[in-house]
Homo-oligomer: A and B are copies of this chain.
Amino acid sequence: MNITTPSKITVRKIPSSRINEVNFNSLQFGSVFSDHMFSCDFKEGRWQDPIIQPFGPLTISPAAKVFHYGQAVFEGMKAYKDDNGGIFLFRPEQNFKRINKSAKRMAIPEFPKELFFDALNEILQLDSEWIKPGIGNSLYIRPFVIATQAGVSASPSTEYKFMILLSPAQAYYTGDVKVVFSEHYSRAADGGVGFAKAAGNYGAQFYPTNLAREKGFQQVIWTDSHSHEFLEEAGTMNIFFRINDTLITAPTSDRILDGVTRKSVLKLAETLNIPTEVRRVKVSEIKEAHKNGTLMEIFGAGTAAVISPISTFGHGEKIFDLPVLEESYATMFKSKLMDIQYNRSEDPFGWRYRVL
């Protein structure tokens, strides 16, 4: 049965939910999808035919420009459920702004704000059972846009598809996270697309990350492509350094993603009177701080992992272990962020967005 809602989104419900087939206690991140998906097509110069329908395969030309020219952008968000069944997003307007910023850089038409939020609200209400309460549980939300026009000439597509997929999630990273500071490979160039959540930024990291994994590291901390002297970001996380009690992170730029978790940590730090420095961070400075015992913590910040404490970093052939702190910034920020996300604390900054 097709229903058209007041927001003009056609809704075609799944005949019966697949939710009972899913073991919510052993979820692999990003591999299971909820009952429904949202899509909307750009053609003839406008976004049209918004629809929520059962999750299922696309039919798409093998000549679609996304396959050949990587014209694709995405976002990562999460929906959280409190113990009363309330459903919340965390600063979704930031994701909305960023997907359009990414889209612009990739010559993709911007998506309308009202439809973005209508789509989120409607699909989350429809698939609300897929959001489990309890700290750590969430429904990962993947809005994305792909170029769908068939054509193997290197020019912008005239047709696009905007979609939202939903994937139930537990915690993203587990155990000690060991990272290596990149000395040869790079993630982004000045004047390039590093600030955007452009699909190709991620695939380009897989090979150097595989090389790092062979050496026992889970992630690469990317450095500037010119000198490899400055620490930038981890590819799926922004990076924070704590020297003594000061929290330091690199400024956003056209190479570094303007992370929502990153800016939330900075805001929290400000209200907690934690000294912060947003400035370029030298590899040599971090090694020196480790040597003299003032490097207290390194942690990543991103939607998937929220806060990801780093136990060890490598540079060259050397390995540097970080102290285990009883009261770390990482744990404190993670706890404060999740309390806001799960509606367990006040929300002084207006970051929560209630869906239901």
Contacts and interface: CB of A to CB of B under 8 A. Distances in A.
Nearest to A103: B207
Contacts of A226: 190, 225-226
A335 interface: no
A207 B69 contact: no
A343 interface: no
Contacts of A199: 66-70, 200
A2 interface: no
B72 A203 contact: yes
Interface residues of A, number: 71
Interface in A10-44: 28-31, 33, 37, 39
Given A192-B225, A203-B107, A153 B30 contact: yes
Contacts of A74: 68
Contacts of A236: 154
B68 A66 contact: no
B154 A104 contact: no
Contacts of A151: 30-31
Contact of A191 (B104, B156, B182): B182
A156 B72 contact: no
Contacts of A190: 186, 225-226
Interface in A221-236: 225-226, 228, 235-236
A163 B72 contact: no
Contacts of A210: 107, 156
A71 B156 contact: no
A324 interface: no
Nearest to A152: B30
A300 B263 CA distance: 44
Contacts of A106: 203-204, 206-207
Contacts of A37: 62
Nearest to A69: B202
Interface in A58-94: 58-63, 65-72, 74
A273 interface: no
A203 B69 contact: yes
A185 interface: yes
Contacts of A97: none
Q: Which of A65, A190, A235 has the most CB of B within 10 A?
A: A190
A140 interface: yes
6 nearest A-B pairs in the assembled complex, by CB-CB distance: A200-B200, A70-B200, A70-B199, A189-B189, A186-B191, A30-B153
Contact of A193 (B29, B62, B105, B204): B204
A139 to B, nearest CB: 12
Given A61-B57, A68-B144, A72-B70, A153 B207 contact: no
A354 interface: no
